[in-house]
Structure 1
Amino acid sequence: MKKQWILLSALLVLIAGFLAACGSSEEAGGDNDKKTLVMGTSADYPPFEYIDTAQGEEIIGIDADIAKAVTEKLGYNLEIKDMDFGGLIQALNSEQVDFVASAMSATDERKENVDFTEIYYTSKHMIISKEGSGIETAEDLEGKTVGVQLGSIQETKANDLAEGIDMKVESRNRIPEIIQEIKAGRFEAAIIEDTVAQGFLEKEKDLAGVTIEDADGGYAIALPKGSELTEEFNKALQEMIDNGEIEDIITKWFSEQ
């Protein structure tokens, strides 16, 4: 009888330990049970998305913070992938990423291929050129070679301007490439989103900029056509707009530039 009691006690201890281990495992792996959403972005566009190599390899900025907040509110894990801006919509439609947050304007042309959330930021265009170039208006681009980011709203703007102004438009994948082309004299100017341009102007004292008209549309998150996530994202974004979270994020990153 004593032996049976000892065996029973040992068995109960083993069962209790097994249950405790299961509980600890579930608690520790809670986040692992969440679905992970993959965000596509072009991390060359501070303060919206970029990598501060002095701090590490993490993609940071306005869009990264907004995406983290939205996915956290909806109960998802987040993975961010860096790629060229011109390939983001293709990556979205080929299911390489679940959504795109990359200072992307919600234009009518893009809406033919993807769905957009609520607009969270409206931008302006800026012409960047070397200090003393004399370029102060769009008309001053006459006869000039103008750089733009491939696939951007500024590329569309430049091509529209080129219909009435004799200027050559050349595209590059990344904004730093465009800046280097200006400094090397291969571009006389570039058209870049104004807040992004301001960041480069503060670092490159030999460059100057002038703001032109508002950009078409506004920045929004892009999702596949008919995605069930669009409604979820809209709800979370609207909540963040209403309670001031979006404004706080934008203010934070602009103040750090």
Structure 2
Amino acid sequence: MKRIVSYIFVSILLIGMLAACGTSEEPSKTGSNKNGSDKKTLVMGTSADYAPFEFIDTAKGDDIIGVDIDIAKAVTEKLGYNFEVRDMDFGGLIQALQSGQVDFVLSAMSATDERRKSIDFSDIYYTSKHMIVSKKGSGLTKVEDLKGKKIGAQLGTIQEEKAKELAKTVDMSVENRNRIPELIQEIKAGRLDAAIIEDTVAKGYLDNNPDIEGFTVEDADGGYAIALPKNSELTPEFNKALKEMLDNGELDAIIKKWFEKK
């Protein structure tokens, strides 16, 4: 009899415990990111060696900064996402995108037809323009005129890369200088025949130096865009945010902020 009573008591106790467990609150299915936010975090791939689009100013810290970082912050904020940046070699960005290591790429990447075969691109957010600056009366009016000339470029800039690109088709030499004013002085002194400078920056020097002149060179690959996986659902979302930024002047303000820094 004692065994029966004991068995009934234990059974009631177990039932009570199970009932209590059944009424406990289930954990949220919405995961939090490392910042404690319930927003989804998108991973951005970039190659932080391309000032002023993405680079690290070691004198000020180890954060990746630049045009593309500010654009990514604005776009993801408008769409309700958090984002984190993953730095890698430029040559590995498309593979990282295709393998799911990153959700999108913002790295001054030109939206070429060849790349479009394997990935998607947003609308163009920046079209590269450069100016070839030379002493007034130099006779340099087109790229072909640079043959046999010594061309300067600011070290570490996209103009340095553009100069190297031009040197593959035109027989010219390329020299680097640390700052734009140095390039202007070298042209005036005759130590450089010309220099390639971002056009908005160059125009400021042309306005203040009547003894120099220049002509514009545009990149032929369609401009920079945000790269995304093929058929990504994010593409129309990103385009919507970019259009809003273009219409309200936010995009232009970001570009001017970084390109006006000297």
Residues in 2 aligned to 1:142 and 1:194: alpha-carbon distance in whole angstroms: 21
The alpha-carbon deviation at position 127 of structure 1 amounts to 6.5
The Cα of 1:31 is off from its aligned counterpart by: 4.5
Which residues of 2 match residues 239-254 of structure 1 at below 5 A?
239-254=244-259
CA contact (8 A) 1:126 1:192 kept: yes
Distance 1:88 1:125, change over 3 A: farther
Q: Which residue of 2 aligns with 1:61?
A: 66
Q: Is the 8 A contact 2:132 2:196 kept in 1?
A: yes
The runs of 5 or more residues in structure 2 that have no matched partner are 1-24, 178-191, 206-212
Counterpart position of 1:229 = 234
Unpaired stretches in structure 1, ≥5 consecutive residues? 1-18, 170-177, 181-187, 202-208
Percent of aligned pairs sharing the same letter: 57
Cα 1:54/1:108, change in 2 over 3 Å: same
Structure-2 residue corresponding to 1:96: 101
| Shift of residue 157, structure 1, vs aligned partner | 5.5
The answer to whether the aligner puts 1:194 opposite 2:210 as a matched pair is no
1:24-173 pair list within 5 angstroms? 31-125=36-130, 138-139=143-144, 142=147, 154=162, 158=166, 162=169, 165=170, 167=171
Change (3 A) 1:157 1:97: same
State the alpha-carbon separation in 2 of the partners of residues 71 and 93 from structure 1: 20
Q: Secondary structure at the match of 1:67?
A: helix
Deviations 1:60-105 (A, max 9, x none): 1111001011111111111112222222222212222111111112
Please identify the structure whose Cα radius of gyration is greater: 2
Give the C-alpha shift of residue 212 in structure 1: 4.8
For 2:49 and 2:201, the matched residues in 1 are separated by 12
Pick which of 120-129 and 140-149 moved more.
Answer: 140-149
Q: TM-score scaled to structure 2, two decimals?
A: 0.60
Q: Which structure's residues are more often helix, by fraction?
A: 1
TM-score by length of 1: 0.61
CA deviation map 1:38-63 (0-9, x unaligned): 11112122221111111111111111
Question: Is the partner of 1:57 in helix, strand or coil?
Answer: coil
Secondary structure in structure 2 of the residue aligned to 1:119: strand
Quick check: 1:154–1:193 contact (8 Å CA) kept in 2? no
CA distance in 2, matches of 1:100, 1:42: 9
SS at match of 1:220: strand
Q: Residues 104 and 127 (structure 1 numbering): CA distance in 2 closer, same or farther, change over 3 Å?
A: farther
When the two chains are superposed, the root-mean-square deviation of aligned CA atoms in Å is: 4.4
CA change 1:256–1:85 in 2 (3 A) is: same
Offset at 1:213?
2.4
